[in-house]
Amino acid sequence: MNSNKNETKKHPEDVFDKDFEVIYEGELPELPDDLGNDDYKDVLSNLSELDTTRSLGIDYLEQNRTKTFTGLSRGKNSRRRHSTADRVLHIAALLLIAAITGFLAVTFWNHTVSYANIAGAVAGHNYILGAYYGTALFLLLIEWIAFLHVLLGGNTAKVHGMISFLLIYGGALLSHLFAERLPDSPVFLQGIREALCVYGGVHLALLWLCGVGVLVCVVQKYL
């Protein structure tokens, strides 16, 4: 009799090892989709009360809260940080394209001083000036299209932005190297050559602007 009484007084930890499993017979209530509502908490509390090994310190509600709600919170915070960083980099790429476009426009415009009166040149059918402005507007149009692609491109905005930065600098470098080799005839080629020389003359400034733009797009792509 004494031995039986001593066995009944043993602590559950002395009887069950760490691999002990509790198996419930019968159907358990289905868990709701909303892991944070009161019904779900009630289910976990009921499971805890059904457990005959509560003395082992198992708290179903607390354990689930720690694993589930903490994980969800961290995931949301991580996505929020990535979304904010992506938005900042997207705006930075747009500002760089706008800065390059404005810089080129001012540079081309300032150089037209050598053509004297623009209205007189147009009236006199100055093909050189016309070719000069046509080339300048073509380059500015490329940048404007790139700006719209980055602004409205969605998932492809990073690729469009990177391509635009590479193209605008590549064009400036090629113009710097080869623009002066264009012939003088027909006459409109003089205007194209002049515009490309102006464009190539700022290739060092564009190197920095476009280099930063490419870096922004790369970081945004692999963030």
**What does the pLDDT look like over 13-65, one tens digit per residue?**
565 565 656 665 656 556 555 555 555 556 556 655 655 555 455 555 555 55
In this predicted structure, what is the pLDDT of residue 85?
86
- Are residues 181 and 194 both part of a single domain? yes
Element (H, E) at 142: helix 127-152
In a domain, 7, yes or no: no
Closest CA to 92 of 218, 8, 221, 216: 216
With cut-offs at 50, 70 and 90, classify the pLDDT of residue 116.
Answer: very low
In a domain, 11, yes or no: no
- Are residues 52 and 96 both part of a single domain? no
Element (H, E) at 170: helix 157-178
- Are residues 65 and 94 both part of a single domain? no
Report the domain count for the chain: 2
With cut-offs at 50, 70 and 90, classify the pLDDT of residue 175.
Answer: very high
Asked if residue 108 lies in contact with residue 195, where contact means CB atoms within 8 angstroms, the answer is yes
- Confidence (pTM): 0.61
Residue 156 belongs to what domain range?
78-221
The answer to whether the Cα torsion of 105, 110, 113, 118 is positive or negative is positive
CA distance 173 to 211: 13
Cα-based distances in Å from 219 to 79, 86, 159, 222 = 16, 9, 12, 5
- Are residues 30 and 88 both part of a single domain? no
**What does the pLDDT look like over 177-191, one tens digit per residue?**
999 888 878 888 888
